[in-house]
């Protein structure tokens, strides 16, 4: 039996201060901003940090897994089952090397695209049928240095545009909560983020 009017939004990242400002932690940054916007805070829970907020008649459960990126699936499966979330009401937010910085894409389902966190979620859920927000971080790294790149801090030039990207992603989360994935994809896919007009 699924819980009515309940959404689970999981932002991916790594716990610890040394990872806080890295590209890999953009999922954490988005759910942090979403919680802050609604006056909610995170509390330590099993396999992660949880925040709860209400938007109209919807209960939103925000999750930051504490299992580190490559084991995100363990945390998401636990809270997915605990909260009795319908599969269509799970949204995962992650960084994406395949997208340029300043682009955000929403998908209803799909593969991991080489992202270890998403791959682990697919393995634990035994399904790739969950919605995800892919936030572009670019791929400006030398071959063989992908891990160093995703775990490095944002450049000064990137920091100036990061706020708009995060705000855009928070709007996506709110739309997903109130309108579902199809309407959210129609509204936001292809939408240009302010500051990235060309």
pLDDT 10s digits, 174-195: 999 999 999 999 999 999 999 9
Q: Is the per-residue pLDDT at 64 higher than 70? A: yes
Residue-level pLDDT at 42: 98
| Interval 77-129: pLDDT, tens | 999 999 999 999 999 999 999 999 999 999 999 999 999 999 999 999 999 99
Residue 198: pLDDT band (50, 70, 90) is low
Residue 24 annotated among the catalytic residues of the structure: yes
The total number of residues shown for the chain amounts to 198
| Closest among 186, 187, 25, 8 to 81, alpha carbons compared | 8
Percentage of residues of the chain with pLDDT beyond 90: 93
Q: Where are the domains of the chain?
A: 6-188
Name the catalytic one among 24, 79, 115, 168. 24
pLDDT at 143 over 90: no
* The CATH homologous superfamily of the domain defined by 6-188: Peptidyl-tRNA hydrolase (3.40.50.1470)
* Residues 8 and 91: beta-carbon distance below 8 Å: yes
**Which of 22, 164, 176, 184 shows the shortest CA–CA distance to 102?**
164
Bridge partners (DSSP) of residue 136 are: 96
Give the helix, strand, coil percentages of the chain, each rounded to 5. 40, 20, 35
């Amino acid at each position: 039996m699924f819980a009515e009017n309940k959404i689970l939004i999981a932002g991916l990242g790594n716990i610890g201060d040394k990872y806080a400002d890295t590209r890999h932690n953009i999922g954490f940054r988005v759910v942090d901003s979403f919680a802050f916007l609604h006056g909610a805070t995170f509390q330590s829970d099993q396999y992660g940090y949880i925040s709860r907020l209400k938007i109209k008649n919807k209960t939103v459960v925000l999750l930051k897994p504490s299992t580190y990126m490559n084991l995100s699936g363990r945390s998401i499966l636990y809270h997915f089952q605990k909260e009795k979330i319908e599969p269509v009401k799970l949204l995962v937010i992650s960084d994406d090397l395949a997208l340029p910085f300043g682009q955000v894409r929403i998908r209803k389902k799909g593969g991991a695209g080489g992202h270890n966190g998403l791959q682990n979620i697919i393995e634990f859920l035994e399904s790739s049928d969950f919605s995800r927000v892919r936030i572009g971080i670019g791929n400006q790294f030398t071959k063989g240095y992908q891990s160093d790149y995703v775990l490095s801090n944002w450049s000064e030039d990137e920091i100036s545009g990061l706020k708009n990207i995060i705000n855009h992603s928070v709007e996506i989360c709110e739309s997903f909560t109130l309108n579902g994935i199809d309407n959210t994809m129609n509204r936001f896919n292809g939408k240009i983020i302010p500051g990235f007009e060309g």
